[in-house]
Amino acid sequence: MHTEGPDERREERLEVTDRTRHRRLREKGSTLRSDLDDVLRAGFVCHLAVVVDGTPLAVPTVYGVDFDTRVLYLHGSVASRSLVQSPGAQVCVTVTHVDGLVLARSVFEHGVNYRCAMVLGTPRRVTDREELLHGLRVLTEQCAPGQWEYARSPSRKELAATSLLALPLDEASVKTSAGPPDDGEGPDAASGVWAGVLPYRPVFGAPEPDPLLPAGTPVPAHIAALAGRR
Amino acid sequence: MHTEGPDERREERLEVTDRTRHRRLREKGSTLRSDLDDVLRAGFVCHLAVVVDGTPLAVPTVYGVDFDTRVLYLHGSVASRSLVQSPGAQVCVTVTHVDGLVLARSVFEHGVNYRCAMVLGTPRRVTDREELLHGLRVLTEQCAPGQWEYARSPSRKELAATSLLALPLDEASVKTSAGPPDDGEGPDAASGVWAGVLPYRPVFGAPEPDPLLPAGTPVPAHIAALAGRR
């Protein structure tokens, strides 16, 4: 029997399509599935590109990924409206992490360090009660691990009012840009201009209790643990 | 002579169109021009929604706004490709700031605090040399104020290789979601579950010099000043 080891799994590659082939120079495309997963795992807000009434919109929404079934779940009221209009509608889900400003000797070589994943496909509305619960759990746990067990679960009525989309990770691309500026060995290197990277990262601050919370309600450990982390 | 005062300017309203009218409940739409400007001023990376070969894509890119001429400039190689294919193509530029996780007593009431601006329209490619320089300046200064004067200006050849798009701020919408969760007075309030907001904000870290930089090259004051700020 062949058992897939972690190293082999780490080396699994994404299928490259005409839409996901990398075209640009400075950015570095990756076809490693683990790179895609790392970018998706590091966030909880994506931008969904969807055509609504003929206009492409980029709509921010919350997402979570089930890395076992390779399905991305997202809150999708705007997309739902569009998907009702045109079944089979294509969308793009983009997750971007801005990691820093690249400050070069010349304006032209300036840039941004980032990691970006784009998932393409046709999402389906989640209507099955069990999958709705599962998708919400995935989404909630990606935002704040431990919160699904801690907070009250959705009622039947609340589930019915939840609009969730499922998008398989079948067609995706990853691009990252990292490191110092490129003009350290060019003619501008002698200019005396400072060059380097200004790192940029989001962090969670200290929890702010709801003013209506009874005094003395303890902050649960899984929430306290998030403060200071990204 | 009537002189427009700062208060009046602050009250200027955005024109509401069918595409920018707010439909959702929890989020708070604003039609104040100053709210739009505040959201646009606070960022430097947007997501551009554009249809490329029939597929809507959400592409992250750098932007800057000239608040006098009310024009948003963005780096737009992907969009350029698309715009060449279909002149007059509609796009959407979305700027999103995630401000916090809203942790409620119930999973259903969970959410994200955010500020989001969406600008709709048909961008034009900037081809005029003077406007290319101006747009790059606006973009550079929005990322790192002071950097345009400090770094070497683009050469004629570099300008020719720069793809810049201009999008007027004529049709735009702003949505913000802020404050504690909504279930502080409902039946879940007695559950003893902690509820509140986990603030989330990006910050600039300490400048990391290019390893190729000559030892002793000082970090300019305008860059040092950004560390610790968002």
Q: What is the pLDDT of residues A157-182, one digit of tens each?
A: 999 999 999 999 999 999 999 999 98
Structural domain includes residue A122: yes
Residues sharing a CB contact under 8 Å with residue B6, sequence separation 6 or more, in sequence order? none
Residue A65 or B7, more confident: A65
- Give the model's pLDDT for residue A24: 37
pLDDT in tens, B115-157: 999 999 999 999 999 999 999 999 999 999 999 999 999 999 9
Structural domain includes residue A166: yes
Closest residue by Cα to residue B219 from B141, B152, B137, B147: B147
- Give the model's pLDDT for residue B150: 97
Q: How many domains does chain B have?
A: 1
Measured between CB atoms, which of A94, A152, A220 is closest to B188? A152
Residue of B nearest to A205 (CA): B199
Measured between CB atoms, which of B19, B152, B208 is closest to A191? B152
Structural domain includes residue A1: no
On the question of pLDDT at A71 being above 90, the answer is yes
Structural domain includes residue B62: yes
Alpha-carbon distance of B16 to B23, in angstroms, equals 12
On the question of pLDDT at B24 being above 80, the answer is no
Structural domain includes residue A229: no
Interface check A60 vs B, CB under 8 A: yes
pLDDT in tens, B176-212: 999 999 888 889 999 999 999 999 999 999 999 999 9
CB spacing of B103 vs A223 below 8 angstroms? yes
Interface check B178 vs A, CB under 8 A: no
- Give the model's pLDDT for residue B228: 79
CB-count burial class (<10 Å; 0-12, 13-18, 19+) for B84:
exposed
CB-count burial class (<10 Å; 0-12, 13-18, 19+) for B154:
buried
Alpha-carbon distance of A156 to A133, in angstroms, equals 10
Confidence of residue B26 (pLDDT cuts 50, 70, 90): very low
- CA–centroid distance for A1 within its chain: 35
pLDDT in tens, A118-159: 999 999 999 999 999 999 999 999 999 999 999 999 999 999
Tell me what ipTM this predicted complex has: 0.90
Structural domain includes residue A64: yes
Confidence of residue B6 (pLDDT cuts 50, 70, 90): very low
Domain coverage including residue A175: 6-209+216-224
CB spacing of A101 vs B204 below 8 angstroms? yes
Residue position matching structure tokens 């005029």? B128
Phi, psi for residue B179 in degrees, rounded to 5: 95, 180
- Give the model's pLDDT for residue B184: 86
Alpha-carbon distance of A52 to A55, in angstroms, equals 5
CB spacing of B208 vs A196 below 8 angstroms? yes
CB spacing of A45 vs B98 below 8 angstroms? yes
Instruction: Please report, rounded to a whole number, the percentage of residues in chain B having pLDDT higher than 90.
Output: 73
Interface check A80 vs B, CB under 8 A: no
Structural domain includes residue B45: yes
CATH number of the domain enclosing B68: 2.30.110.10
In angstroms and rounded to an integer, the radius of gyration of the C-alpha atoms of chain B is 21
Residue position matching structure tokens 């024009």? B71
- Give the model's pLDDT for residue B25: 39
Interface check B49 vs A, CB under 8 A: yes
Which residues does chain B have within 8 Å of residue A201's beta carbon, measured at their own beta carbons?
202-203, 205
CB spacing of A204 vs B198 below 8 angstroms? yes
Confidence of residue B4 (pLDDT cuts 50, 70, 90): very low
pLDDT in tens, A16-63: 777 665 543 346 888 889 999 999 999 999 999 999 988 999 999 999
Q: Are B220 and A105 in contact (CB under 8 A)?
A: no
Alpha-carbon distance of B225 to B227, in angstroms, equals 6
Structural domain includes residue B218: no
- What amino acid is encoded at B153 in this protein? S
